[in-house]
């Protein structure tokens, strides 16, 4: 299990963290699977590459679940629909943030943690880094609020590896735009996505042992060659 970054103890009591039923400290490490997350701004090629990564891991006969956020359980998928649907009413920052973490709480406790506790590998399409990038970087939500909810929902658990597919915002939006109807996030302007990208890059540089940055502007074959090397290094 990855060591969590330092949290502001004035906003979260350590005993609560220790008591969290989500704490994986009881796991026999020789049995533990890895928790891998795929991230990036719009149009980076997550969907295209998720299957590629899944196949590499399954080829090693490792027991794996593939899931996504927001979503991953019936309730969390309903919340995803609410979050992504374009709407006339402005969604206020706290509502968006809390809905993201409501979906995450359900997904995390009922799917991710049971899988990890039974020794499975978990490959997740987006996780809390997306909240730091989209709600933090994009919307400007205070980082301490995100940390508070992260600790409440996840206890001490953090992904072991975060793979960020990085591409220039303009290229990404052009790729995403080719898919047809835009969801509520895809309708944001370019500067929103510049801030999202910057937030991802900043997180990647702070913890290079956990973050794997891949240049997704390259031809798909090259991107996948780098992904193969990355996954091989994670599997060891």
Tokens 């799917």 sit at which residue?
111
Tell the smallest beta-carbon distance from residue 168 to ligand T5A (Å).
12
Q: Which of residues 153-192 bind ligand T5A (CB under 6 A)?
A: 175-176, 178, 185
List, in sequence order, every residue forming a beta bridge with 123; answer none if it has no partner: 36, 66
Among 12, 48, 73, 105, binds ligand T5A (CB under 6 A): 48
C-alpha distance from residue 43 to each of 1, 72, 120, 181, 197 (Å) = 30, 21, 29, 14, 12
Residue 44 touches ligand T5A, criterion: CB under 6 A? yes
Task: Decide if 169 contacts 198 (C-beta within 8 A).
Answer: no
What sections of the chain are H helices per DSSP?
Answer: 14-19, 46-59, 74-84, 93-107, 113-117, 128-130, 143-154, 169-177, 190-206, 220-235
Minimum CB–partner distance for residue 49 and ligand T5A (Å): 7
Does 141 interact with ligand T5A (rule: CB under 6 A)? no
Size of the site for ligand T5A (CB under 6 A): 25
Instruction: Report the run of H or E that residue 182 belongs to, with start and end.
Output: none
CB closer to ligand T5A, 32 vs 75: 75
Spatial distance between the Cα atoms of 10 and 20, rounded to a whole number of angstroms: 18
- Measure the CA dihedral 203/128/19/117, to 10°: -110
Tokens encoding 77: 């998928």
Residue 73, interface with ligand T5A (CB under 6 A)? no
Q: Which stretch binds ligand T5A (CB under 6 A): 15-23, 40-48, 113-121, 198-206?
A: 40-48
Looking at the chain, how many residues does it have?
236
Considering only residues 92, 95, 98, 220, which one is a binding residue for ligand T5A as defined by CB under 6 A? 220
Q: Does residue 146 interact with ligand T5A by CB under 6 A? A: no
Task: Please report where in the chains the tokens 């998928």 appear, as a residue.
Answer: 77
Q: Is 200 in the site for ligand T5A (CB under 6 A)?
A: no
Among 34, 35, 37, 45, binds ligand T5A (CB under 6 A): 45
Structure tokens of 180? 């047809």
**Binding flag, residue 130, ligand T5A (CB under 6 A):** yes
Q: How far is the CB of 8 from ligand T5A (least distance, A)?
A: 20
The DSSP 8-state label assigned to residue 33 in this structure reads: P
CA distances from 1 to 36, 62, 157, 191 (A): 11, 17, 7, 35
| Stretch near ligand T5A under the rule CB under 6 A, chosen from 12-20, 113-121, 130-138, 202-210 | 130-138
Q: Least separation, in Å, of the C-beta of 147 and ligand T5A? A: 14
**Interaction site with ligand T5A (CB under 6 A):** 40, 42-48, 69-70, 100, 125-126, 130-131, 134-135, 175-176, 178, 185, 216, 219-220, 223
């Amino acid at each position: 299990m990855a060591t969590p970054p330092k949290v502001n103890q004035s906003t979260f009591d350590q005993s609560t963290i220790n008591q969290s039923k989500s704490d994986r400290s009881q796991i026999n490490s020789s049995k533990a699977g890895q928790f891998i997350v795929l991230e990036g701004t719009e149009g980076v090629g997550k969907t295209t590459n998720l299957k590629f990564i899944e196949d590499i891991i399954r080829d090693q006969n490792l027991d794996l679940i593939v899931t996504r956020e927001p979503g991953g359980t019936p309730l969390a998928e309903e919340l995803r629909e609410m979050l992504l649907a374009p709407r006339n009413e402005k969604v206020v920052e706290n509502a968006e943030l809390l809905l993201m973490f409501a979906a995450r709480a359900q997904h995390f406790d009922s799917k991710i943690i049971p899988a990890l506790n039974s020794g499975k590998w978990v490959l997740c399409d987006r996780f809390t880094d997306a909240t730091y990038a989209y709600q933090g970087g994009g919307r400007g939500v205070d980082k301490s609020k995100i940390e508070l909810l992260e600790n409440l929902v996840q206890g001490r658990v953090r992904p072991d590896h975060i793979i960020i597919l990085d591409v220039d915002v303009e290229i990404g939006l052009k790729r995403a735009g080719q898919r047809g109807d835009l969801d509520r996030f895809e309708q944001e302007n370019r500067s929103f996505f510049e801030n999202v990208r910057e937030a991802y890059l900043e997180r990647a540089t702070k913890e290079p042992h956990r973050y794997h940055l891949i240049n997704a502007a390259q031809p798909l074959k090259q991107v996948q060659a780098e992904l193969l090397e990355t996954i091989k290094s994670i599997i060891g």
